[in-house]
Amino acid sequence: MLMLKMKQKLRYLLQKLGLIEIQTVCFSQEGEDLILEEYFHGVNKGFYIDIGAYHPIRYSNTFKFYLKGWHGINIDARPGSMQNFKKVRPKDINLEIAVGNRSECLKYYMFDEPALNGFSKEISEERDRDFHFNILKTVDINLERLEVILDNFLPENTEIHFLSIDVEGLDYEVLLSNNFNKYRPKMILVETSVISEGLAFDSEINIFLNENGYSLVAKTFRTSFYKLNLC
């Protein structure tokens, strides 16, 4: 109640001074969509790809752009994950597919917190053992390369403005599965598991993206932003 009164008082003072109260809306976990919004300022129509999309709104790096008129491809491996996407974001291409560098079947770990679902045995067992999360079950899911998915679903002559990857430990495998000679997003967001190691310039993800023409330009606690270098 006290907080509400303070907000009302602040709003009154701003109005009295002729100022406008500015409220910034963020849907991402760590403000990633705000960084992207600044980078793509003035771009009214764009295209995104969200791998490990999880939810159409919660922790979404792309929903803010959907509201602005952008569209894209949402991909998540969790069985039934695309039901909500089809309801909330019908103008997007919504795919229930697991992405990896090889066509193989892997065990998918499903938690009581679905945002933690993933294929990494090591990370999943650590979370189940050392944190207040529990593995509910595992299912076997076939992987598909990102290059093949884009060949089949990316609309013809579409420019990819940004690619967001958050697949709980297999982010590097997803990057390896893309054809960077053919598909070159202007910006790539990738979750980095080496939080305690700062920017981790010697990480395999950083080295790989540098070799493919990308430079690290921003970072949140968990996510690194790589910009395509202009020739």
Domain of residue 56, residue span: 31-37+45-99+145-228
Residue 164: CB atoms within 10 Å:
27
Residue 82 inside a domain? The answer is: yes
What is the percent of the chain with per-residue pLDDT over 90, rounded to a whole number? 56
**CATH code for the domain of 163:** 3.40.50.150
Residue 66 inside a domain? The answer is: yes
Residue 137 inside a domain? The answer is: no
- Determine if the pTM surpasses 0.75: yes
Residue 116 dihedral angles phi and psi, to the nearest 5°: -95, 0
pLDDT tens for 165-223 read 998 778 999 999 999 999 999 999 998 755 544 456 778 999 999 999 999 999 998 89
Q: Residue 224, SS3?
A: strand
Mean pLDDT of 81-85: 93
> 74 - beta bridge partners?
50, 94
Residue 15 inside a domain? The answer is: no
Q: What is the mean pLDDT of the chain?
A: 86
Provide the H-helix boundaries in 131-186: 146-153, 171-176
pLDDT at 21 over 60: no
Domain count, the chain: 1
Provide the H-helix boundaries in the chain: 2-16, 32-39, 63-67, 82-88, 121-130, 146-153, 171-176, 204-211
Residue 117 inside a domain? The answer is: no
Residue 11 inside a domain? The answer is: no
Element (H, E) at 122: helix 121-130
Residue 10 inside a domain? The answer is: no
